[in-house]
Amino acid sequence: MSDKTKIHKRWSYGWKGIFINDLIEANNYKSYLELGVDIGTTWINVHCDSKTGVDINPESNFCDNGSGEVHKFVCDTDAFFAKKDPSTKFDIIYIDASHDKKNVRKDFINSVSSLNKSGLVILHDIFPKCEKDVLPTASGDVYDFWMSLCDFVEFENICTCINYEKRSGNDDAIGIYSHGDSNENFQQLKNKDYSYSEYQNKIYKYIFNLELDYLARLTQ
């Protein structure tokens, strides 16, 4: 992944999908699950042999970009996992459905149990930049789940990738969990109810200090 023009593409509006697509290419992943397709900003940029999208809204943009098999589920994430064949596993899972930390916790636990050994779980909305961002209509309190997850797992299994949007200042970030040989019992993972002020005070520990170089994330 030495093409610098490809790296620079991630500064665009659809950077998350482009970054996920680069992870798929670099790791030869074959199956992708997206929880919370919405208008398809991430979905449209992802190319994979098998793509599965879940959204409760039937008007969500499950557009077909011609990348391979596409499986669409119009339901909430709990219903999806309840009826999913337990033997069906995914290489990479992107969580961007409910922004309520309790629901995100369930989505994460269900995702890990549906992940191939070498797979990744990616979380959006971990990086609220002001107090308005923690409203349910924005990023919600996903940041609290991310901080609680960081406290629970080995730091070598998690990292962040930050999009520094220089022109608009609308920086964004995702959290990445690498499953590997982890034997964590995530049923024991609890949200710690961090306040927004606590998040601000510890933002370097949970966001900036975990940032991994883009190329390193692709090749490690």
pLDDT 10s digits, 140-165: 999 999 999 999 997 778 999 988 76
Mean local confidence (pLDDT), 103-112: 97
Mean local confidence (pLDDT), 64-92: 93
Multiple choice CATH, 4-219, 3.40.50.300, 3.90.1150.10, 3.40.1000.10, 3.40.50.150: 3.40.50.150
pLDDT recorded at residue 122: 97
81-88 contacts at long range (C-beta below 8 A, 24 or more positions apart): 81/110, 81/114, 84/114, 88/114
Is residue 101's pLDDT more than 90? yes
Token readout for 123 is 């979380």
pLDDT recorded at residue 172: 87
pLDDT recorded at residue 170: 65
Q: In whole angstroms, give the CA distance from residue 26 to residue 29.
A: 8
pLDDT recorded at residue 27: 92
Q: Considering only 121-130, 141-150, 205-214, which range has the smallest mean pLDDT?
A: 205-214
Q: In whole angstroms, give the CA distance from residue 167 to residue 26.
A: 29
Q: What is the pTM of this model?
A: 0.90
pLDDT recorded at residue 169: 57
Residue 211 backbone dihedrals phi, psi, to 5 degrees = -65, 130
Torsion of CA 200, 204, 210, 216, to 10 degrees: 120
Torsion of CA 58, 60, 64, 67, to 10 degrees: -120
CB 115 within 8 A of CB 77: no
Query: What would the pLDDT profile of 25-42 be if each residue is shown by its tens digit?
Result: 999 999 999 999 998 889
pLDDT recorded at residue 164: 78
Of residues 111 and 11, more confidently modeled: 111
Mean local confidence (pLDDT), 49-76: 91
Going through the chain in order, the beta strands assigned E by DSSP cover: 31-35, 50-55, 69-74, 90-95, 115-123, 158-163, 172-178
Residue of 145, 50, 30, 159 whose CA lies nearest to 97? 145
Q: How many CA atoms lie within 13 A of 130 on its CB side?
A: 4
Mean local confidence (pLDDT), 49-67: 89
Mean local confidence (pLDDT), 160-187: 80
